[in-house]
Amino acid sequence: MVELTSASTASANSPGAVLVPVPFDGTGFHSWRRSVLRSLSVKNKLVFINGECKRPDATHSTYRQWVRGDDMVMSWILNSLGRDIADSVEYVSDALELWMELVDRYDQTNGAKLYQTQKEINDLSQGILDITTYYTCMKKLWEELNNLCVLSQCNCVCICGAKANTHKAEQDRRLIQFLMGLNVVYTTIRGSILMMNPLPSMAQAFALLIQEEEQREFKPNNQMFAESSSLIASSPDVPGGRNFRTNYSPNTNAPRGRPFCEFCRRPGHVKDKCYKLHGYPSGGPPPNSLNSQSSNNYGTNQHQKAPNTD
């Protein structure tokens, strides 16, 4: 008693501490209660909410130590509740009354709760979730269902093997339920898991699915890279690709099939017939009398004979 409620133990903990990372807001009471019980067990303060450490008489020498320890536990629990719920239990007399108030209010293992939890399990499917998130959601619902059915679980020591067989059958049922919710892309690996005899554990099946998921994350990227490489190789505008343009530079906008002069960088003639390089023929127009386009066109027809005017 002195060890559990001593002043040194109480002063080593802050009343502003929070027992759980997420305050209880009215949903998921069983998982919240489990976390609180674990935290109080670590702090060696469970005796204040399970009735083992009762309030001593006001004249007893340990009364003040007990009050300090009880107030500390109450502060921790209140800090772990949502604001609305904390306000509703603010004026309870001690930690035991506070805890029993929460249990009576939210620990309802009735048929409606069982139905709702089982329905959520049946309706759960992978969808847009990854394997890890999907498994986490399913595992959480399974644990909640176990807490609802805690009174029906057997704690006796079994020597005939029936308890182990029952546990294996329950694990196989959960595995089948988990595999049923997977997306269609996992059909092949799901069939491989179902072909195993005996069926693997959830941990083993989860590891296989994680490996398949990691392989699928790389496959689309490789396929996209191959398709992109194919498009680049077949593109006429990309260096190194198949270039079907001839007789002109790929950097121009000239129509395909027309000749192109590499000297004056104009379409309509080739370098061997460029007047700017070889000079204008005798009797031709002076260089400045026509624009460059007309000159180029004239050059392309220089091989034609002049009409006979005689």
Start-to-end Cα distance in the chain: 139
Continuous segment of H or E residues that includes residue 120: helix 111-123
Can you tell me the distance from the alpha carbon of 80 to that of 13, in angstroms, rounded to the nearest whole number? 15
Angle between helices 162-180 and 187-194 (to 10 degrees): 160
Return the domain boundaries, the chain.
Answer: 7-106, 111-206, 245-303
What would the pLDDT profile of 23-81 be if each residue is shown by its tens digit?
888 887 878 888 899 989 988 889 999 888 888 888 888 889 999 999 999 999 999 99
pLDDT confidence of residue 204: 93
Residue 284: pLDDT band (50, 70, 90) is low
- Tell me which DSSP letter residue 309 carries: -
Q: What is the mean pLDDT of residues 187-197?
A: 93
Nearest partner of 49 among 84, 109, 85, 4, judged by Cα:
4
Selected residue with higher pLDDT from 148 and 226: 148
Owner of token pair 């392989």: 215
